[in-house]
């Protein structure tokens, strides 16, 4: 699966692109990684035109799921889907994706806490938390 490995490498090299997202979920005690790519076509359709005149398919047009339970990679698009059983490739990309996610996990938890409580009526919880954090 050289082509898939090369394409995953290309997507991962561009992971900071606003149209590419990587998420992790736990299902049945196994890690699943979802690499989603928002792909827009430059066609117009009277029923589905947004303000910029670019037609976009619903949701994520292209997604790759690394499924550690079944040791497979599920590639889905609005046009076709393929399941590839390749344990070596699953293990390789699981390690790469996990390392990437763990790298910024502390910062993301902090952002989550701040976003939830700064936009709520319980701002005092966030304020008390930040004061305790400064004491540590």
With H, G, I as helix, E, B as strand and everything else as coil, classify residue 103. Answer: helix
Residue 42 has what pLDDT?
60
Each residue's pLDDT tens digit, 47-98: 554 454 444 444 447 999 999 999 999 999 988 999 999 999 999 999 999 9
Render the burial of 79-113: b for 16+ CB within 10 Å, e for the rest.
eeeeeeeeeebbeebbeebeeeeeeeeeeeeeeee
The full set of domain ranges for the chain reads: 2-101, 104-136
pLDDT band at 46 (very low <50, low <70, confident <90, very high): low
Radius of gyration of the chain (CA): 19
């Amino acid at each position: 699966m050289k082509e898939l490995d090369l394409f995953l490498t290309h997507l991962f090299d561009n992971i900071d692109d606003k149209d590419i997202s990587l998420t992790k979920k736990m299902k049945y005690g196994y890690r699943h990684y979802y690499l989603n790519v928002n792909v827009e076509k430059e066609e117009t359709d009277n029923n589905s035109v947004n303000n910029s005149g670019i037609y976009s398919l619903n949701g994520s047009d292209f997604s790759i799921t690394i499924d550690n339970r079944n040791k497979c990679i599920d590639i889905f698009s609005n046009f076709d889907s393929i399941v590839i059983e390749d344990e070596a490739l699953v293990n390789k990309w699981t390690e790469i994706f996990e390392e990437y996610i763990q790298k910024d996990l502390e910062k993301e938890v902090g952002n989550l806490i701040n976003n939830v409580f700064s936009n709520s009526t319980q701002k005092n919880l966030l304020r008390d938390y930040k004061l305790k954090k400064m004491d540590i």
